[in-house]
Chains A and B, each alone.
Chain A
Amino acid sequence: DVKVTQSSRYLVKRTGEKVFLECVQDMDHENMFWYRQDPGLGLRLIYFSYDVKMKEKGDIPEGYSVSREKKERFSLILESASTNQTSMYLCASRPRGGIAREQYFGPGTRLTVT
């Protein structure tokens, strides 16, 4: 089974703090994704990476950065957390290629910024 793990299930941070969210997958997948999920807005793609040290902006990259130094690990960084970044953050991975393009999700990190 594909296993995607996220470093924290719940996180509370203060406005202005630098926040790191970590995601690790154990299936040697090339592609990894970071989403945020908010009621009424659905899943929105923040960043994705298709290889080590490679990244592409998604639909809402402002206020976020990412790091992919190793194939199995994809980190999301909130440079200076703000209250409007309170959300559920989901990491996903999938292998390169194929028509189906299914993604495998981690359990999520619920981040609250106060």
Chain B
Amino acid sequence: TQLLEQSPQFLSIQEGENLTVYCNSSSIFSSLQWYRQEPGEGPVLLVTVVTGGEVKKLKRLTFQFGDARKDSSLHITAAQTGDTGLYLCAGASGEGGSEKLVFGKGTKLTVNP
């Protein structure tokens, strides 16, 4: 069974601080997505990474896929209150054309003013 472990589970920081959240597995994924979910809403796709070592930037957010395609990180620079939410990583295994994703349990980020 493939698992994605996210850490930390909870993170509370002040506006302007930097932070990194992690998504780790012992399994190899063909691609990995990051989603943000606000309270009472569905997850919204932020980015997809598909190549080992790939780095993608989305304004103040930097996403990295590990060289071995087993892990990923999300770094936020100068966090803002609008970054508050649940950050989920999800991996596609690529096995047998499966359409299913493996989801981590998420990192709940609170950015305080």
Contact = CB atoms under 8 A, between A and B. Distances in A.
B82 interface: no
B30 A108 contact: no
Interface in B19-34: 30-31, 33
Nearest to A32: B99
B105 A101 contact: no
A52 B46 CA distance: 29
Contacts, number: 59
Contacts of A94: 99
Given A42-B105, A105-B42, A105-B43, A100 B99 contact: no
Interface stretch (A13-21, A43-51, A74-82): A43-51
Interface residues of A, number: 26
A7 to B, nearest CB: 14
A58 B50 contact: no
A103 interface: yes
A101 B102 CA distance: 11
Nearest to B6: A42
B13 interface: no
A9 B42 CA distance: 11
Interface of B: 30-31, 33, 35, 40-45, 48, 50, 88, 90, 92, 94, 99-101, 103-106
